[in-house]
């Protein structure tokens, strides 16, 4: 408890106020900025990754931009997200995010859209790095 008192006092010193009724002390996991964070890993909220399964093929640039924003938010959990997303980005080139221009889909783009929906639905979790482990950066 002494450490908690010190943290709260330090936050107060910098003018940061905490609503104690919104705090969860001693919790093993919690929601934070659209993620479920635990001592073992970080993963997207399950209810958020189920939404893309219901997406139909976007008909307008504006709708596709929303899908691309979701991919961008979860990209760190999606293997090869950039490859799949690049095909979809081509549909939005030289257009604004609020553009109501109809989209004309090729077979490649439809396949990419289906792949990315599946990737979001099958999203994996990210484990926290182990401090004393060796890592290879490529």
User: What angle, 0 to 180 degrees and rounded to 10, lies between the N-to-C axes of helices 81-89 and 107-121?
Assistant: 140
- 22 & 74 share domain: no
For residue 83, what are the domain limits? 44-126
According to DSSP, the residues that pair with 91 across neighbouring strands are none
Range among 65-69, 74-78, 119-123 with highest mean pLDDT value? 65-69
Helix (H, G, I), strand (E, B) or coil at 60: strand
Range of weakest confidence among 9-23, 26-40, 101-115, 123-137: 123-137
- 32 & 99 share domain: no
Q: Is residue 20 part of a domain?
A: yes
pLDDT of residue 107: 92
pLDDT of residue 15: 92
Report if pTM > 0.75: no
- 37 & 99 share domain: no
- 34 & 48 share domain: no
Task: List all residues 6 or more positions away from 61 whose beta carbon is below 8 Å from its beta carbon.
Answer: 91, 92, 95, 96, 97, 99, 100, 101, 103
pLDDT, tens only, 68-108? 888 888 787 777 778 878 888 888 887 777 778 888 899 99
- 64 & 114 share domain: yes
């Amino acid at each position: 408890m002494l450490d908690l008192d010190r943290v709260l006092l330090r936050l107060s010193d910098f003018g940061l106020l905490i609503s104690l009724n919104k705090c969860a002390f001693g919790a093993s996991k919690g929601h934070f900025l659209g993620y479920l964070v635990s001592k073992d890993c970080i993963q997207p909220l399950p209810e958020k990754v189920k939404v893309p399964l219901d997406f139909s093929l976007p008909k307008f640039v504006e709708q596709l931009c929303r899908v691309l924003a979701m991919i961008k938010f979860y990209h760190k959990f999606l293997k090869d997200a950039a490859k799949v997303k690049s095909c979809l980005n081509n549909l939005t080139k030289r257009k604004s995010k609020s553009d109501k221009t109809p989209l004309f889909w090729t077979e490649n783009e439809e396949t990419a859209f289906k792949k990315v929906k599946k990737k979001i639905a099958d999203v994996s979790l990210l484990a926290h790095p182990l401090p004393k482990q060796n890592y290879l950066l490529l």
